[in-house]
Amino acid sequence: MPIYEYQCPSCGEIFDKLMRFSEADQVPVCPHCGEKETQKKITAGAVIGASSGGRSSSVSSAPAPRFT
């Protein structure tokens, strides 16, 4: 299930909501003030890979297998 990020236009609260894909068109109520018209925010997805700090990631750097 994806986590969606919402912002309340009344109080400015930003909150996350874990929702099923079938519920993605539903609008959750603001947990801070109870506003019913919250807005889904556009956010960047997670990136998997090595960080700029030089630490290696837990993802293998081996090339993906080729299927022919």
Q: How much is the pLDDT for 68?
A: 59
| Cβ contacts of 6 within 8 Å, gap of 6 or more | 14, 15, 16, 17, 27, 28, 30, 38, 39, 40, 41
pLDDT tens across 15-39, in order? Answer: 999 989 898 889 999 999 999 999 9
Is residue 50 very low, low, confident or very high in pLDDT (cuts 50, 70, 90)?
Answer: low
CA nearest 27: which of 37, 17, 19?
37
- If pLDDT is split at 50, 70 and 90, which confidence band does 51 have? low
Average pLDDT of the chain to the nearest whole number: 80
User: Does residue 45 surpass a pLDDT of 80?
Assistant: no
